[in-house]
Amino acid sequence: LNLLGDLRLALARKDFELYYQPQHDMVSGNIIGAEALIRWNHQQLGFITPDKFIPLAEESGLILPLGEWVLETACNQMTRWKEKGIQLERISVNISMAQLHQPGLIARVEGVLERTACRPEWLEFEVTESYLMSDPVEAGRLLAQIRSMGIMVALDDFGTGYSSMSYLNALPLDRLKIDRSFVFKLPDEDEGAIVRAIIAMCQCLNIGIVAEGIEKKEQKQFMMEQGCDLAQGYLYSRPLPCHEFEKYFANLP
């Protein structure tokens, strides 16, 4: 098995698909956004999840063309949804560090927006904590540029890396996604205290909060009581292929 060779081939053949996981407003229950999550439909192995090939794509540099395909596909999808009258505020796309540091990033993103007729305010970039902390000053500069285009910026997997509170304040962030490893243990008292503190801090800094990995009613209840804004997780829905996402959207009360 030569996964890297296969990945190169798959890129040329576009053997990928984006799944979309709904993000719900915790109070109204409405779907506010969707996170785009890539799947590789491998010719022999079937669907492969990103944790098995994103690291390989990052090591090999293939993440740049792959990331651009993801961005363009997500933007295209968003424009189509808007045309269909689907009331989705925005689509969230995971961005790797190498993409963020790619020369000419802003021009590339502008090119994608133009080609897909997607508006910047329909888009959110998710960047993980560990990426940012390797070079917070440069990352902050790049994210500020992204944000000045009108694209929202979310800090993904919060709590799993080594971010310091002072960086959190200095980074230009719209939202913070509390990692599902915290949400998973709720309403355990110790975990609850940490989550409460994270939310209180975000409220002071005027940063929105997204809870990831909500699987149980008690977790949802806890997050809602703490004033968390948005939620994502299997309790609501798994990541869905485009047509199933549309069905889910249409069937919400």
Whether residue 17 contacts residue 241, with contact meaning beta carbons closer than 8 Å, is answered with yes
**156 vs 229, beta carbon nearer Na ion:** 156
Stretch that binds Mn ion, among 51-59, 111-119, 156-164, 179-187 (CB under 5 A): 156-164
**Tokens of residue 182, six digits:** 């915290």
**89 vs 221, beta carbon nearer Mn ion:** 89
> Least Å distance between CB 73 and ligand G?
9
Give the 3-state secondary structure of residue 1: coil
**51 vs 83, beta carbon nearer ligand G:** 51
Whether residue 163 contacts residue 170, with contact meaning beta carbons closer than 8 Å, is answered with no
State how far the Cα of 104 lies from the Cα of 37, in Å rounded to an integer.
24
> Least Å distance between CB 178 and ligand G?
10
Q: What is the 3-state secondary structure (H, E, C) of 216-238?
A: CHHHHHHHHHCCCCEECCCCCCC
Q: Does 179 bind Mn ion (CB under 5 A)?
A: no
Whether residue 171 contacts residue 206, with contact meaning beta carbons closer than 8 Å, is answered with no
Q: Is 46 left (phi over 0), alpha (psi -120 to 50) or beta?
A: left
Stretch that binds Mn ion, among 11-19, 20-28, 91-99, 136-144 (CB under 5 A): 91-99
Q: Does 58 bind Mn ion (CB under 5 A)?
A: no
State how far the Cα of 227 lies from the Cα of 216, in Å rounded to an integer.
17
**6 vs 153, beta carbon nearer Mn ion:** 153
Q: Which residues bind ligand G (CB under 6 A)?
A: 21, 37-38, 49-51, 54, 70, 94, 96, 156-157, 180, 212-215, 232-234, 239
> Least Å distance between CB 156 and Mn ion?
4
**26 vs 178, beta carbon nearer Mn ion:** 178
Chain residues binding Mn ion by CB under 5 A are: 94, 126, 156
